[in-house]
Amino acid sequence: MKIKRVALITPPYHSGVVESAGTWLNVGFVYIAGSLRAAGYEVDYYDAMSLWHKWPDIQKRIEAFRPDVVATTAFTASIVDAVKLLAFAKKINPRTVTVLGNVHATFCYDEILKGDHAAVDYIVRGEGEVTLPQLCTCLNAGDDPKKVEGLAFWRDGGVVVTPRAPYIHDLDTLPTAWDLVEWPIYTYRAKNNARLAIVSSSRGCKQQCSFCSQQLFWSQSWRARSAENFVAELEMLSRTHGVEVAMLSDEIPTFDRERWVRILDLMIERQVPVKLLMETRVDDILRDADIMDRYRAGGVEHIYVGVEAGTQETLDLFKKDTQVEQSKQAIDLINGADIVSETSFVLGMPDDTPESIDQTIELAKHYNPDMAFFLAIAPWPYAELYPELEPYVATKDYRKYNLVEPVIKPKNMTLEELERQLGRASQKFFMHKFQNLDRLSPWKQEFMLSVLDLLINHSYLAGQMRAMLKEGKEMPPEVKALLQSVGKHRGGAKHSAVAPIP
């Protein structure tokens, strides 16, 4: 069989975490599709996850395109559905070559292939833009895939692992396939359903966080596109595809200050009409205290910084390489620039108790970000911290490793108690935040009212609030009054957060 058509398909996994804010495209597929087309292959960019497609929909799409290769991607929580997708493709056409990539497969290829090698023909370890086209070309030539770097596959009763592929050095030269994206579905709910893109200006992470996958995936390396190349892409996305908001997928986009300042200057000079959402480190915000006004002028509207822990002891365990007091300083700088500030706290560690979680809630209020999320630690099986957490792992069901469902059982709490505490933490923080809404600038007030609507109607927290009501508990009067005020502010029950709540 000659390979001519490649279908890139996201697995239909949902957890309600990121979906509350909008619909997010898979930027990795944009690059891989571009590289496959440049190598002469026809590509279907199929985001089954974002389309909320069920298995019959996926079958119709596969049968219509008739791919020779089906490739999918998986983080840990979506790995079960990713393997199921490849098995599904094999059922439709047993001759289909199936490929799996991304972080979980890169590190857990042995477990996957030993358990599901009938469904998964090849695993791409690391970046896929060079490896996947090379694999297709190799198979077309009837050559041995052992010659292709960056692969793992099953052969003769065992797992074959080829040498690691080098990282792609010049990111500016990578072809893209933005024209294959089904743009109408990608929207940012918190900004009136503005058209949303995910973009990448750099790859890698130089940090050593012990709970994270990125420093492992990128081997603590970092590479970046030129400022000119990146800003030109934002201009194209705005002009050609109507993009209004772009989220940077980078772990540390501001790592090189000179390059970052150049990006901001170009955004200002060229008046690029795209607002930026981004993540960066606490210490990089402190470094850039003198140019926070330039962040705002350059279109940065929303910054996430990972605080992660409320005590220095836990920060040191996580190897965050920051001090507790620095987090407050960074969030103050972001707020001072009239930029939306967001952070998260990782809870559910073995020594956590309701009392320690209460202390974290109070610390979150003190830090005063616009948004704080309280997440259940997910013990990635390949992370440095995993051996220390493994004795407390309560389930090996990877679908639950989504930062919402607890999978670590603290010494003095049940999983059910921890889940309730996580929901209560979010409720207490946001109730405090919305009671002080008048302290924010007018545009932030409007944004936060949209956030409240999303939390009640579209997020994983919505179910917890409904469960609280079904248990017969009274909604606190101040919450009820606030929801009613939101309803009036946003044009009545049809658009209000209070509408779906019985």
pLDDT at residue 457, as a whole number: 73
Mean pLDDT within 228-247: 98
Kindly indicate the confidence band of residue 231, based on its pLDDT and cuts at 50, 70 and 90: very high
pLDDT at residue 461, as a whole number: 66
What pLDDT digit, counting tens, does each position of 275-333 carry?
Answer: 999 999 898 999 999 999 999 999 999 999 977 555 555 554 444 455 667 888 999 99
pLDDT at residue 22, as a whole number: 83
**180 vs 360: which has the higher pLDDT:** 180
Percent residues over pLDDT 70 in the chain: 84
On the question of pLDDT at 463 being above 70, the answer is no
AA identity, residue 235: E
Q: Residue 31, Cα to own-chain centre: how many angstroms?
A: 17
pLDDT at residue 237, as a whole number: 98
Mean pLDDT within 464-482: 51
Mean pLDDT within 410-416: 95
Strand segments (E) across 377-486: none
Mean pLDDT within 31-51: 97
What pLDDT digit, counting tens, does each position of 103-162 carry?
Answer: 889 989 999 999 989 999 999 999 999 999 999 999 999 999 999 999 999 999 999 999
Query: Which range has the top average pLDDT, 40-49, 363-372, 380-389, 436-445?
Result: 40-49
pLDDT at residue 500, as a whole number: 28
Mean pLDDT within 214-243: 86
On the question of pLDDT at 498 being above 50, the answer is no
Q: Which residue has the tokens 């960056």?
A: 150
Instruction: Report whether 469 contacts 30 (CB < 8 A).
Output: no
pLDDT at residue 158, as a whole number: 96
Instruction: Report whether 130 contacts 35 (CB < 8 A).
Output: yes
Kindly indicate the confidence band of residue 239, based on its pLDDT and cuts at 50, 70 and 90: very high
On the question of pLDDT at 497 being above 90, the answer is no
What pLDDT digit, counting tens, does each position of 349-406 carry?
Answer: 999 999 999 989 988 898 999 999 898 988 878 877 788 888 999 998 999 998 889 9
pLDDT at residue 1, as a whole number: 75
Which positions ≥6 away from 407 have C-beta within 8 Å?
Answer: 376, 378, 379, 393, 394, 395, 397, 400, 401
Kindly provide the b/e burial profile for residues 139-170, where b requires at least 16 CB atoms within 10 angstroms of the residue's own CB: beeeeebeebebbbbbeeeebebbeebebbee
Average pLDDT, the chain: 86
- Concatenate the DSSP letters of all residues of 299-355 into one string: TEEEEEE--B-SSHHHHHHHT----HHHHHHHHHHHHHTT-EEEEEEEE--TT--HH
pLDDT at residue 386, as a whole number: 80
Strand partners, 204: 222
AA identity, residue 453: D
Phi, psi of 37 (to 5 degrees): -65, -40
Instruction: Report whether 293 contacts 300 (CB < 8 A).
Output: no
Of 283, 290, 371, 370, which Cα lies nearest the Cα of 327? 283
pLDDT at residue 318, as a whole number: 46
pLDDT at residue 493, as a whole number: 33
Which positions ≥6 away from 99 have C-beta within 8 Å?
Answer: 69, 70, 71, 72, 120, 121, 122, 123, 124, 132, 135
Three-state secondary structure call for residue 9: strand
Mean pLDDT within 187-204: 92
Which positions ≥6 away from 179 have C-beta within 8 Å?
Answer: none
On the question of pLDDT at 449 being above 80, the answer is yes
- The pTM (predicted TM-score) of the whole model is 0.88
